[in-house]
Structure 1
């Protein structure tokens, strides 16, 4: 059974390596949703900026807060972005 067939399946939850920590959270979200789809980020059916203010998301993550949790729907998935501590943001993608 693929993750797409199981709506409760967590597709991916990652804390990026330190080198990844300098990349915008919005970029990481697109990459993780594309990975869940088995697709290239440019081929996703939706655009991130139609789902969430990408600049605002990046600004929230850059500010850093242990209370940060942003949830939104994007390209058929539920995305949760959380601050896991200095330089570490997790992106959870579920269907």
Structure 2
């Protein structure tokens, strides 16, 4: 899992660190968009897992870039306890391009 990183709140980053992703970045939400830009442009990672809460701090063109990027692939993951979560079905459709629900 060398080419995967996680950026987000402590709960998000620590959860992924526990399953073996060593490159985790715990960020204050006010600095998260800047850190995501830095990581994205570094070319070091193939997959960037970012807290979904970062999305509201991004400009529309940045969000479109991240949502359509393949290398690196940027996946916005739900934050535990946040009610505005993307469903698993919507996430699979957006990331994988397949509809797994009815």
- For the aligned pair, the TM-score class normalised by the smaller chain equals under 0.3
Q: Give the number of the structure whose residues are more often helix, by fraction.
A: 2
Q: Relative contact order: is structure 1 or structure 2 higher (C-alpha 8 Å, sep ≥ 6)?
A: 1
Q: Give the number of the structure whose residues are more often strand, by fraction.
A: 1
